[in-house]
Amino acid sequence: MGPVMSFPEERPRRLRRTPLLRGLIRESALTPSSLILPLFVSGAISERREVATMPGVFQETVDSVVAVAEEAVALGIPGIILFGIPDRKDARGSSAWDDQGIVQVALRRVRQAVGEGLLLIADDCLDEFTDHGHCGVLTASGEVDNDATIELYAEIAVSQAAAGADIIAPSGMMDGQVGAIRSALDQAGHGETAILAYAAKYASAFYGPFREAAECSPQFGDRRGYQMDPANRREAMREIELDVMEGADLIMVKPALAYLDVVLDARQRCDQPLGVFSVSGEYAMLKAGAAAGGLELRDSVLETHLAMRRAGADFILTYFAREICRWLEEQA
C-alpha cells in the first residue's frame, strides 16, 4: 500500500497578501481605453454652463467642446459621444438632421481639431430637438409614431455620418430603428459608419439630471411606452437579438449599476462588443454621497466602474471618464 496523500488546507488569502499577488490574478481591469466621455453641446449659449444637478459637467459651446475633446485625447480616452441642444425646437425636431445643426457643426469642428485621434459618436434621437420632449414625432392622439420616427432617425444618421461621426448611436428604442439606419447609411455611401445600439434602454428613474442637462424632459406623459420596463430581464435579450439581426455593430445596456444582471446576460448571449452607460443619476448619486461625507469619491467611482467591467462590459460611457483616467495615472 502506497503512502497516503494529504492535501493542504485551502487558503485563498495567500494570493491576496501583496499588491503584486493581487495584480497577478486580477480578473478584470479598468483602463482609459475602455471609457467613452459623454458631452453636451449647445447652440443656445455663448459660454459653457455647469449643470446644477451634475457638478463638474457642463453644457458646452462648440469652442469649449473642442477643448474638452482635445483633453480627452491627451488623457487616452478613445471616444466621445455628443448630445446636442439646439437653439430652436419644433414638433418634428427638424434641427436634428440639419447639416448646420449643433451636433453636425460640433462633429466637424472636433474632427478638424483632433483628426483621427478620437472616435466621434453621435446620439441619434429626437427628444433634445422636439418642443414636446418625446423621442419621436407624434400622432394626432399624442402617441409616438414608430414608423414615421425611424424614417427621421435614418435621416439624422446620414447627416451625422456626413459631418464626421464614426459611430451612430440610436437611443429612442423604436422598433426597427437599427435596420432603418443601417439601410440609409449604406445607401448614402456610409457603409463604414458603425452603429452602437442602445439595445436595452430602460425607463429608469436615473435619467433626471440628463434631462436637465439636455433640456429634454417630456412636456406630457412619460417614455414608458417605448423604453423598457425595469422589471423585465428576459425581454432585454430579445431586444438585443433583434438589434444584432438588424445590423448593430455594438450593443449597449442603459443604465449600468442597477442592471448589471442584464449586462451579464448580454455578455453570455452574444459576441458583439458590449457597452454600458453609467447614467447621469449614477454620477449625481456618487457626487452627492461624496459631498455629504458618506463615501470617498475616487474609491467609489473606481469600484463601481470596475463592477461594470466585471459584469462583462467592454466599454463604459461615463461622465467620470476624465477623473478615472487621472486616478488610474496616479495609481500607476
List active site positions. Answer: 201, 254
Cα(42)–Cα(106) distance, integer angstroms: 9
**Contact of 236 with 228, CB cutoff 8 Å:** yes
Residue ranges of E strands in the chain: 35-42, 49-50, 58-60, 79-85, 119-124, 167-170, 194-201, 250-254, 274-278, 315-318
Q: For the chain, give me the number of helices (H) and strands (E)?
A: 11, 10
What 8-state DSSP symbol labels residue 191? T
Residue corresponding to grid cell 447652440: 43
DSSP labels, 264-287: HHHHHH--S-EEEEE-HHHHHHHH
What 8-state DSSP symbol labels residue 233? S
Buried-state track 234-262, b at ≥16 Cβ within 10 A, e below 16: eebbebbebbbebbbbbbbbbbbbebbeb
Cα(165)–Cα(198) distance, integer angstroms: 17
Cis peptide before 255 (omega within 30 of 0): yes
**Contact of 127 with 214, CB cutoff 8 Å:** yes
Instruction: Count CB atoms within 10 A of the CB of residue 322.
Output: 19
Q: Is 272 left (phi over 0), alpha (psi -120 to 50) or beta?
A: beta
* Backbone φ and ψ of 11, nearest 5°: -135, 80
Cα(273)–Cα(251) distance, integer angstroms: 6
